[in-house]
A and B are shown apart, each in its own frame.
Chain A
């Protein structure tokens, strides 16, 4: 079985947050698209970022490294990072890796964006 190619899109929100919709497998091949999406989101000067994992079924260790890279950039830019749509398994992995210590995990977009708009 082959993986699902990665793509990412940005949806700026009226409250000042930018949602980055992630789709497909987050592995080594996702690096360019993920960085491009981050740059696009950052260019709109949001006050925070929200990562949408709803359509992500596979994240490997390289994908975790890419997310660490995104988190590092967001911290340098003082952009709070929120996430939603993670399966229970990847929520567990975010806990184990301590990513969850630096990005709040929400059940759905509405609650993540609402929190980002505060």
Chain B
């Protein structure tokens, strides 16, 4: 049998620098006519500029090489190996192998019949050899690809071990994270570090580029951040400055790391942060999403950088979302970018946590469309301060008698004691409760001792609601005139009539509703002063939605 080991891979692509090689060995005649005779193996390399190559490629049938006049090292080697007749195997114009025959055992020349037989053999064998070569080549490439994929799978597993195995669970907080590399490995990472005093460092970073080079820098940056966090447990800006110095010496040119480093005090909601060129984190509240600004250069670009430290307070129900640019810079099939405004729209009204992350992932998938090839690594981290559960803090009755509003006020104050209502807001709530209870006892229940006023105090995510119910629901609500002190002093208006005005001025919202025989006034007081200042003037404006006596 003939075994053909060599092949002419890549020769057809004409790359001169790749040395094509042909190895063929055989002594076909012996095989055909005298199976008992030994086969001589001949390893043969034919250089691309060897004239034998062109000669064999264009030959039609077996070539007698004894008298062939070519300046060819390969030809010399063939002769030295004892070949007298060379049968080129040509498939689609490409030399894919040689069958080399030594002298016939009978010492006669090869006959015309022999040559015809060999030519027929070559015509049939060449395509088969070519197919075998292609299959073999594909197998080798597949093996190489599988080996690379396997290595990347291992790299990804190793990289995942660099991410937190468990999410931190500070009391009253929910932490959630999502990490979605564009390739097997990623330049994005997030980390949490427990700090002294129950504080928690929250880190999201993004190394330029993606894939293996970014992943290697990521591993180094993560270690540096952990080391610096130990040295500077209180100062995010100093942590980033330290890491910048370390990275500047080590990072390859044209690579850098953006990083948001924040320290959360779960006990108070204080979030102190510094930013090295990363996307601005978003603070998500029920009514608005605001960007938390701090300035600083990316890490690893220039030594000697300083990083601005800022802080924000995260109230119950609010969360901080930190994300890499794979989200906001994702494009849809029309070439539009996802962008921060869309993120703001998505995040508004969603507290945070895994719900927010799922919503953002869904939004990104919908935006990018089916068949989206992820352009960059995508990472989200949210830390959400959980709202207090909506619960009834107190439900009690107060007999309708003069002065009993004081009892109502004291009970409401006791019920809201654990909510952390600032002192000034508590005083306002007490005045509003007193006035609304007086109204209920006097106008709703006519100070009838058999008709108590029912008061319920509820804690809601960011506010407390006091509902005051009397039994005057079927009475027509009297028209109230806005109190005008000038008119009162001039005797043009009764000196009285301050009750509803005070109620509306004191709380953030007043709602009145009638349900059959019952009339209820709901007073809503936010737990914290709003950013624009919950002044009494704002209270009056907000209270215009309310109604009552």
The answer to whether B502 touches A93, judged by C-beta atoms less than 8 angstroms apart, is yes
Provide the residues of chain A in CB contact with B498, threshold 8 Å: 61, 64-65, 97
The answer to whether B403 touches A3, judged by C-beta atoms less than 8 angstroms apart, is yes
A117 interface contact, C-beta 8 A: no
Q: A3-B406, A58-B406 are in contact. Are A96 and B495 (CB under 8 A)?
A: no
What does the 1/0 interface line of B190-218 toward A look like (CB < 8 Å)? 00000000000000000000000000000
A99 interface contact, C-beta 8 A: yes
Report the Cα distance A46→B410, complex, angstroms.
40
Q: A60-B438, A89-B424 are in contact. Are A68 and B485 (CB under 8 A)?
A: yes
Tell me how many residues of B have a C-beta within 8 Å of chain A. 29
The answer to whether A61 touches B402, judged by C-beta atoms less than 8 angstroms apart, is no
Report the Cα distance A87→B438, complex, angstroms.
22
Report the Cα distance A100→B505, complex, angstroms.
16
Interface class of chain B by DSSP: helix
B460 interface contact, C-beta 8 A: no
A11 interface contact, C-beta 8 A: no
The answer to whether B403 touches A75, judged by C-beta atoms less than 8 angstroms apart, is no
Q: Given B407, B489, B496, which contacts A62 in the complex, CB threshold below 8 Å?
A: B496
Provide the residues of chain A in CB contact with B424, threshold 8 Å: 88-89, 92
The residue in chain A whose Cβ has the minimal distance to the Cβ of B483 is A97
Q: Given A3, A61, A95, which contacts B438 in the complex, CB threshold below 8 Å?
A: A61
The answer to whether B489 touches A89, judged by C-beta atoms less than 8 angstroms apart, is no
The answer to whether B434 touches A60, judged by C-beta atoms less than 8 angstroms apart, is yes
What does the 1/0 interface line of B491-525 toward A look like (CB < 8 Å)? 10011111101100100000000000000000000
Residues of A1-35 at the interface with B, using a CB-CB cut-off of 8 Å, are: 1-3, 25, 27-29
Provide the residues of chain B in CB contact with A77, threshold 8 Å: none
Provide the residues of chain B in CB contact with A92, threshold 8 Å: 424, 428, 536
How many pairs of residues, A versus B, come closer than 8 Å at their CB atoms?
76
Provide the residues of chain B in CB contact with A2, threshold 8 Å: 403, 406-407
The answer to whether B485 touches A99, judged by C-beta atoms less than 8 angstroms apart, is yes
A98 interface contact, C-beta 8 A: yes
The answer to whether B438 touches A68, judged by C-beta atoms less than 8 angstroms apart, is no
Provide the residues of chain A in CB contact with B505, threshold 8 Å: 96
What does the 1/0 interface line of A84-116 toward B look like (CB < 8 Å)? 000111001101111101100000000000000
A71 interface contact, C-beta 8 A: yes
B405 interface contact, C-beta 8 A: yes
A72 interface contact, C-beta 8 A: yes
Q: A64-B498, A89-B431, A93-B431 are in contact. Are A75 and B406 (CB under 8 A)?
A: no
Q: Given B405, B431, B489, B496, which contacts A65 in the complex, CB threshold below 8 Å?
A: B496
Q: A96-B536, A97-B483 are in contact. Are A61 and B488 (CB under 8 A)?
A: no
Provide the residues of chain B in CB contact with A75, threshold 8 Å: 489
Q: What's the least CB distance linking B490 to chain A, in Å? A: 8
Provide the residues of chain A in CB contact with B64, threshold 8 Å: none
Q: A3-B406, A68-B488 are in contact. Are A89 and B434 (CB under 8 A)?
A: no
Q: Given A28, A61, A68, A88, which contacts B489 in the complex, CB threshold below 8 Å?
A: A68
Report the Cα distance A48→B491, complex, angstroms.
22
The residue in chain A whose Cβ has the minimal distance to the Cβ of B488 is A68
The answer to whether A1 touches B406, judged by C-beta atoms less than 8 angstroms apart, is yes
Provide the residues of chain A in CB contact with B410, threshold 8 Å: 1
Q: What's the least CB distance linking A81 to chain B, in Å? A: 11
The residue in chain B whose Cβ has the minimal distance to the Cβ of A58 is B406
Report the Cα distance A113→B228, complex, angstroms.
62
Q: Which of B410, B491, B496, B505 has the most CB of A within 10 A?
A: B496
Report the Cα distance A96→B505, complex, angstroms.
8
Provide the residues of chain A in CB contact with B435, threshold 8 Å: 60-61
Provide the residues of chain A in CB contact with B403, threshold 8 Å: 2-3, 27, 29
Report the Cα distance A29→B505, complex, angstroms.
24
Provide the residues of chain B in CB contact with A97, threshold 8 Å: 483, 485, 498, 501-502
Report the Cα distance A101→B488, complex, angstroms.
14
Provide the residues of chain A in CB contact with B406, threshold 8 Å: 1-3, 25, 58
The answer to whether A95 touches B496, judged by C-beta atoms less than 8 angstroms apart, is no
The answer to whether B496 touches A72, judged by C-beta atoms less than 8 angstroms apart, is no
Q: Which of A2, A28, A62, A88 has the most CB of B within 10 A?
A: A62
25 A–B contact pairs at CB < 8 A? A1-B406, A1-B410, A3-B403, A27-B403, A60-B434, A60-B438, A61-B499, A61-B501, A62-B438, A62-B496, A65-B496, A65-B498, A68-B489, A72-B495, A75-B489, A89-B424, A89-B428, A92-B536, A93-B502, A95-B536, A96-B540, A97-B485, A97-B498, A98-B485, A102-B489
List B residues at the A interface (Cβ < 8 Å): 402-403, 405-407, 410, 424, 427-428, 431, 434-435, 438, 483, 485, 488-489, 491, 494-499, 501-502, 505, 536, 540
